[in-house]
Chains A and B, each alone.
Chain A
Amino acid sequence: MKRDRVLAQRQMRRTKNLGAVMGIALASTLVLAGCGGGSGAPAANTGDSGEDVVLELWDTDTRPERTENLKTLISMFEEENPGITINYLGLPTDSYMQKISTAIATKSTPDLVTPKASDISALVAQGALEPIDEQFEAGGWDEQIATTMTESSKAASPDGKLYLTPATSLADVIYYRSDLFDAAGLDAPTSWDDFYEAADTLTDKSIGQFGYTIRGGAGFFPQFVEMVYPKAGVDTFFRKDGTSTLDDPKVIKAAEEYAALYNKDTAQSDLTADFKTMVAQFGAGGSAMLSHSIGSYPSHVAALGADKVEGVAPFPSDDGSTILTGWMTTGFSMFKNSEHKEAAWKFLEFTMSAEGNSFWAEKSGYLPGNLEVADEAWVTENQPMQSALAAAAAPDAVLLQQPYYLPEFGSITTTDLLPEWQRVLQGDLTVKEFLTTAAASLTEAQQEYLGK
């Protein structure tokens, strides 16, 4: 019995030592981590005197190349503005809104953010952004920035004020495989008839090639608008009386032609095609045409090579009018709770200045807001951009403004309409029924907005 106790005690000591060792290891990890990752607010904003200001910038569309470009833009700015440092934080493209909303609700917003026009309404409704109209005018920017872009940016907000710098803009184009067109003896498409014909000719199910990729899945609405409104020749989303034009007979007719493409000239899988799937199909040679914005041009070039893919702006309507779609501005904004608004404004100015804007727009592949920059060589060399600009130069071209200022616009066109659109493609719902219901919801939202 004594032997057992001695053995037990010896084991106890061993385990005690082990325990001590583990305890020390644990404690030291804690201490080390405390230095690095311990509790603490984000980098403290030192000094209100204007010396050595640190700004926090949140990026809403973080991707490896874009992050690099944005960081370069920031360091270009920092070089010219010693005393201002900007800390970069990348938010994932699919969940940035949730993070920003949480920050707003808990009063922990940063100084700067990179919104798109479609984000503005939600952010302004939460009282998060600082209007920049005064500084914009005072700095003479209204003469340096393309008016259409400035107008677009203001139109995105419920109160019509300017909340983001009109730094860059997207534009819708239809991409097509120039090599497949050549091989089939087709010229580059210049009209809707060309388009629908080519979609048919280039479809060959037996080799897995389809004429077009129709977006049936998440985010379908912008492409729907791109392919329907220009053909219909309707240049506004809402009539003067606040009713939606979605159930306009011309829109319905164009939409019927568009929806008829599904499963005839497009893959059956397009029913759930989101951006990734569409681009993958286009890049793998599964489809000859694709509708998207100029922003995805680099992806297509990377997958296929610049000699195989070209982009063309959506074609004029049957009665000859040119409707421009997808011209959504993306830029930079400052938060209302920022403690360094002057420094933040300096950065916002930089994004619109010739130097900053040129760099940023070129690297992003978006249309520049600065008028000087629009004349630069790289703009001319970007083929889809040129096509979009050429269409915009048409004398009667009208920019179709999507009603981003409506708070329900996002949820109606994504969550509500998507299942119905899929039902249309599956043949369970007629286009007319779909558009009538959609028009009703949007009309309701618009009436509420007008009545406010």
Chain B
Amino acid sequence: MTALLTPPSTAKSVRRDSAPFVRPLSAEKKRARRIDRVLTYVPVALFLVFTMVPFYWMLLFAFRPTGSTSLVPWPITLDHFSTVWNGSGFGIYFQNSLFVAVMSLVVSTVIALLGGYALARFPFKGKALFLVAMLCTQFVPGAMMLIPLFEIFNTLGLTNSLWSLIISDTVFHLPLSLILMAGFIRNVPMELEEAAWVDGCTRIQAFRLIILPLLKPGIVAVGSFAFISAWNNFLFAIMFLSSQDRFTVPVGLSYLLGEFGADFGALAAGGVIAIVPVVVLFAYVQKFLVQGLSAGAVKG
């Protein structure tokens, strides 16, 4: 089958009589292939345009001098960036955001793995109730629960601590992480685990050695959702923290919007600063979303 995909150049270098027998593509197969290609590239291109135009708009405002109305950011100016960077403490905000997001990611994913495994593999009493309860926690907007949450954190001595953010981000994100992870785990066939048990592995070993590698796309999806959700959270950051040096990136950004602030350039520049690291990180990580089943199943 792979022979069909051999690019013409290599086929040329192989002598005709020693090449494996390959049925040449019929005309209709060729057309079908071309149609398929068009049907793939065109929609992807459209999606790309739709996705990129907003980003371009932001870059336009960030690099374009105030008052200019050209569609291209030329001449480029870095004034907006210096306004934003010098006027705010973005360096510290980044650090804090990073800490909160990473810890949320870790805590979320671990809890989701544990709970997801239980949901996927065990029929236990109270499962339905547990699920419904998890779901119900999503029904009340966080803004309505600020004072009680603050009081709880106060009692635990966690006011003005980044941990209050980590906990609240995790708690509000748990239902999604749990249920998604359960789904991904369920996709891994039971037979693999059972085969490992037969080999003498404990459940934990089987999980670590067999299931975990196969869960990479799932972990990447769930983990990145948790990371991004924690990174972008504004409400809890502004409400639970009271030291300037503990604030996170979304709070820093909010300073650029307001009744007397209509500096779109600075706003866009702030946006670029805030987005770039996350998008770059995410761009790198998302390639793990597509590790096929082959990567891990038939080893050792």
Q: Do chains A and B touch in the complex (CB under 8 A)?
A: yes
Q: Which B residues are in CB contact (< 8 Å) with A95?
A: 238, 254
Q: Which A residues are in CB contact (< 8 Å) with B75?
A: none
Taking the nearest CB of chain A, how far is it from the CB of B161, in angstroms? 4
Q: Which of B143, B156, B242, B266 contacts A42 (CB 8 A)?
A: B242
| Bound CA span A11–B251, Å | 45
CB nearest neighbor in A for B154: A106
Given contacts A5-B199, A26-B106, A102-B147, contact A92 B262 (CB under 8 A): no
| Bound CA span A65–B84, Å | 10
Q: Which B residues are in CB contact (< 8 Å) with A103?
A: 242
Q: Which A residues are in CB contact (< 8 Å) with B102?
A: 29
Q: Which B residues are in CB contact (< 8 Å) with A92?
A: 238, 251, 254-255, 257-258
Chain B residues at the A interface, C-beta cutoff of 8 Å: 66-67, 69, 83-84, 86-88, 96, 99, 102-103, 106, 143, 146-147, 150-151, 154, 156-163, 199-201, 205, 208-209, 238-239, 242-244, 246, 251, 254-264, 266, 300
Q: Does A37 contact B (CB under 8 A)?
A: yes
Q: Which of A8, A42, A280, A295 contacts B199 (CB 8 A)?
A: A8
Q: Does A46 contact B (CB under 8 A)?
A: no
| Bound CA span A42–B157, Å | 11
Q: Does A201 contact B (CB under 8 A)?
A: no
Give A33-61 as 1s and 0s: 1 = Cβ < 8 Å from B's Cβ atoms. 10001111111000000000000100001
Contact A280 B262 (CB under 8 A): yes
Q: Does A64 contact B (CB under 8 A)?
A: yes
Contact A67 B255 (CB under 8 A): yes
Some 6 contacts from A to B, beta carbons below 8 A apart, are A33-B99, A37-B162, A63-B256, A99-B239, A219-B259, A296-B262
Given contacts A99-B239, A283-B67, contact A93 B246 (CB under 8 A): no
The total number of A-B Cβ pairs within 8 Å is 148
Taking the nearest CB of chain B, how far is it from the CB of A395, in angstroms? 32
Give A243-258 as 1s and 0s: 1 = Cβ < 8 Å from B's Cβ atoms. 0000000000000000
Q: Does A98 contact B (CB under 8 A)?
A: yes
Q: Which of B205, B243, B262 has the most chain A CB within a 10 Å cutoff?
A: B262
Q: Which B residues are in CB contact (< 8 Å) with A303?
A: 66-67
User: A residues 278-307 with Cβ under 8 Å of B?
Assistant: 279-280, 283-284, 295-296, 299, 302-304
Taking the nearest CB of chain A, how far is it from the CB of B168, in angstroms? 14
Contact A63 B260 (CB under 8 A): yes
Q: Which B residues are in CB contact (< 8 Å) with A94?
A: 254, 257-258
User: A residues 81-102 with Cβ under 8 Å of B?
Assistant: 87-95, 98-99, 102
| Bound CA span A99–B254, Å | 14
Taking the nearest CB of chain B, how far is it from the CB of A30, in angstroms? 8
Q: Which A residues are in CB contact (< 8 Å) with B88?
A: 64, 67
Q: Which B residues are in CB contact (< 8 Å) with A56?
A: 242
